[in-house]
Amino acid sequence: MLLGIQIVGTLFGLVLLYLSFVHYKRKEFGIREFGLWSIAWIVFIIMALFPDSLSFAVDTLHLIRTLDFLIITGFMFLIGISFYNYISVKKTMNRLEDLVQKIALNNAEKRIRKGSKR
């Protein structure tokens, strides 16, 4: 018999799996991103449906509660995603900086050419 929280967790996972698919179809996600998020949501659904399946990890790591394991893995996931976001933003900033420098140099060269023609 499913508990209410298991039903809510499963529905939540299914909705987010569907949203990942929609973003993939709109070409907002690449195949890698869609695959990563799909795996994450499927694992989430499995954990919601079968919470006792985590007991081996809890026992192996000598944790007292399953919630401790979920909190630890949640923090690890959030830190990993935060690091990925930081790297992505840093790359974008560097590309933007290079683009601004190129535009500034082109504008300066145009001004010099106009000044030398007079």
pLDDT of residue 1: 67
**Structure confidence by residue, pLDDT tens digits, 83-99:** 999 999 999 999 999 99
Please check whether residue 45 lies inside any domain of the structure. yes
Which range marks the domain in which residue 68 is found?
4-87
Measured CA to CA, the distance from residue 13 to residue 21 in angstroms comes to 12
**pTM score, whole prediction:** 0.67
Mean pLDDT of the chain: 91
What tokens appear for 72 in the block? 């630890």
Number of domains in the chain: 1
Please check whether residue 98 lies inside any domain of the structure. no
Distances (CA, A) of 20 to 3, 10, 90, 97: 26, 15, 25, 31
What tokens appear for 95 in the block? 């590309």
